[in-house]
Structure 1
Amino acid sequence: MPTLSAITIYPIKSCAGLSLEEATLTPLGLMSAQIYDREWMVVDSNGIALTQREHPRMALIKPTIKGATLEVQAPGMLRLEIPLGLPDPQTAPTLQTQVWDDSVLAYDCDALTAEWFTQAIGVPCRLARFHANAERAVSTKWTNGVAATTMFSDGYPMLVTGTASLDDLNQKLVAAGRQAIPMNRFRPNLVIDGIEAFEEDYAESFQIGEATLKPVKPCPRCPMPSIDQATGEFGPDPLDIMQSYRAKPELEGALCFGMNSILIAGVDQRVRVGQEIEVTLAF
């Protein structure tokens, strides 16, 4: 029986992930200790998202849940503590942010936080937090008209991958004289053991307890899988190997790994590492 082998949230978009033993499924994505996946985002002076694509050292910014704060650390920096309590939506300073083509209202975190991230990344920037009154709808082109929302993710609330898919890619990398790479290069939220390589591509649904996840769109990969998440530096790039067998015609030849997914049943259900998953294939 397939099982859930890893759970990860990324509290700050494009920064390090937070590995969990269990989490709560919500329509906006995974949540733990009232922290949502990609609830925060680093932006430039125009409110546009900064990511590892241009600033790979963002991988070294590591968040940890410490009581009522999100503690953030980076090499050579004093730790930063970000209060988890939501600001007053009526009085807190705000800014308009941009994620791809979406304009999203966000809370503007304070000047001290902005200075910390500016020093950690090396460019002027600020930290934004998804606003309580904001709503960001996903494209229904891939959901067959089913409405869904997300926070600051690239496009969908959850990314699901299979362990066997990475094993398959690593076998090809090693055969080509390259180093195997870890799953964190692909930054999934949920990883499934016990299914065939890339079986997640053909799934109709993932049933986890009372919850049902629907995979809706293959995840196109940018250069981020070539960034070593432990060093924040560009390392061996798997995309040329992926070019030989992971190009998706329905996405104009984009190289894909993992399935963007939405929650269609089981809001607020808890999931845990080791839990059994029923995978229903679409054929």
Structure 2
Amino acid sequence: MAQLTGLHIYPIKSAYRLSPASAQVEPWGLTGDRRWMLVDETGRAVTQREEPALGQIRVLPAPDGSLTVTAPDGDRIEVAAPSTAAGDPEVKAEVFGSFFTTALVSAEANAWFAGRFPGVRLVHLDDPLSRAVDPAHAGPGDTVTMADGYPLLLATTGSLAELNARIAEDHPDDERKAAALPMERFRPNLVVDGTDAWAEDDWRRVRIGELTFRVVKPCGRCVVTTTDQETGVRRGPEPLRALGRHHRIGQKLIFGQNLIPERPEGFTGPLGTLHLGDELTVLEHA
């Protein structure tokens, strides 16, 4: 039986994960996922692609929407959630050519982040309806937070096991390069166990627990997957080398699938809750 064995939320894009036993799903993704982001002076997203150490920033959300942010050295700051509706400064942010309006945090919070990552500012997406999903892969009204492009990313342990087997085969004389990679390298929201390797490439619609999702696009991988998420250190060419040799689709190195939650037309409230152990059923194949 295929079932959900991992849930991951990234309150600040590219920062360290939270891994709860359950998570509420909204039309634009898991509640609290990637509603905050670091940007440069132009508003462009700053991620682990540019700053691998960003993954070492720990984030704890509070019920009032604020964050407690902790650096690797233990230094900590409380960050209130700004709002454009309340008159906080606006920043036009960009993620891969997608532009949308965000709210800028306080000068104190920005100084804290800029002291660690020069030139950055922290912004908050207070209106999750303000950024549309790429219409080539979405329906009317589909929106996303500050994830790379889609509300949720799903990966399977079966595919990870196959990829790690291929990596080991490709490096028979180098134990370090052949070492198995953890799922955290791929920063998924949902981890599913109990499927064949690469089975998710053929899914088009799935039900997990009480919720249904459209499987809209495979996830092309980048240099972030080469970064150890526990240390913030780049570890070499894997898994990109192995994906290029063994799981390339077109020009993309593929691991995981992007999902959009199904919802009644015009509905913008919570859709339900996912729990570890929820069964996954494939409703439609390609």
Whether these two folds match at TM > 0.5 is yes
Partner of 2:208: 208
**DSSP 3-state at the match of 1:161:** strand
Residues 222-256 of structure 1, C-alpha deviation per residue, up to 9 Å, x if partnerless?
A: 1110011111110132111111121112xxx1101
Structure-1 separation of matches of 2:108 and 2:160: 40
Deviation at 1:67, TM superposition (A): 5.1
Partner of 1:139: 134
Residues 160-194 of structure 1, C-alpha deviation per residue, up to 9 Å, x if partnerless?
A: 11111111111112223311111111110001111
Partner of 1:60: 56
Deviation at 1:94, TM superposition (A): 1.4
Partner of 1:169: 163
Residues 6-25 of structure 1, C-alpha deviation per residue, up to 9 Å, x if partnerless?
A: 00011111111111110111
Partner of 1:156: 150
Deviation at 1:147, TM superposition (A): 4.3
Partner of 1:280: 283
Deviation at 1:133, TM superposition (A): 7.4
Runs (4+) of structure 1 exceeding 6 A deviation are none
Structure-1 separation of matches of 2:210 and 2:276: 15
Structure-1 separation of matches of 2:255 and 2:211: 23
Instruction: Assess, with a 3 A threshold, how the Cα gap between structure 1 residues 263 and 5 changes in structure 2: closer, same or farther.
Output: same
Task: Pick one of 79, 87, 92 that aligns with 2:88.
Answer: 92
Structure-2 separation of matches of 1:240 and 1:277: 30
Residues 77 and 120 in structure 1, CA contact (< 8 A), matched pair in contact too: no
Structure-2 separation of matches of 1:193 and 1:125: 38
Residues 118 and 126 in structure 1, CA contact (< 8 A), matched pair in contact too: yes
TM-score by length of 1: 0.91
Deviation at 1:56, TM superposition (A): 0.4
TM-score by length of 2: 0.90
Task: Pick one of 43, 46, 52 that aligns with 1:50.
Answer: 46
Q: Give the counterpart letter for 1:107 in structure 2.
A: A
**DSSP 3-state at the match of 2:45:** coil
Structure-1 separation of matches of 2:189 and 2:209: 17
**DSSP 3-state at the match of 2:282:** strand
- Structure 2: gaps of 5 or more residues: 172-177, 265-269
Residues 109 and 127 in structure 1, CA contact (< 8 A), matched pair in contact too: yes
Counting matched residue pairs gives 273
Residues 113-162 of structure 1, C-alpha deviation per residue, up to 9 Å, x if partnerless?
A: 111111222x121100013275111112124x454110111110100111
Deviation at 1:83, TM superposition (A): 2.9
Deviation at 1:281, TM superposition (A): 4.4
Residues 56-102 of structure 1, C-alpha deviation per residue, up to 9 Å, x if partnerless?
A: 00010111235544211111251111235x63614122111111111
Structure-1 separation of matches of 2:123 and 2:84: 15
Q: What does residue range 1-283 of structure 1 map to in structure 2 within 5 Å?
A: 1-31=1-31, 36-66=32-62, 68=64, 69-84=66-81, 87=83, 89-121=85-117, 123-132=118-127, 135-143=130-138, 145=139, 147-177=141-171, 178-236=178-236, 237-249=238-250, 253-265=251-263, 267-283=270-286
Structure-2 separation of matches of 1:11 and 1:214: 23
Structure-2 separation of matches of 1:221 and 1:182: 15
Structure-2 separation of matches of 1:151 and 1:166: 26
Q: Say what the alpha-carbon RMSD is for the aligned residues.
A: 1.8
Structure-1 separation of matches of 2:67 and 2:162: 36
Residues 106 and 134 in structure 1, CA contact (< 8 A), matched pair in contact too: no
Residues 104 and 134 in structure 1, CA contact (< 8 A), matched pair in contact too: no
Structure-1 separation of matches of 2:170 and 2:209: 40
Structure-2 separation of matches of 1:133 and 1:61: 23
Instruction: Assess, with a 3 A threshold, how the Cα gap between structure 1 residues 28 and 198 changes in structure 2: closer, same or farther.
Output: same
Structure-2 separation of matches of 1:90 and 1:134: 17
Residues 14 and 52 in structure 1, CA contact (< 8 A), matched pair in contact too: yes
Q: Say which is worse superposed, 259-268 or 16-25, in terms of deviation.
A: 259-268
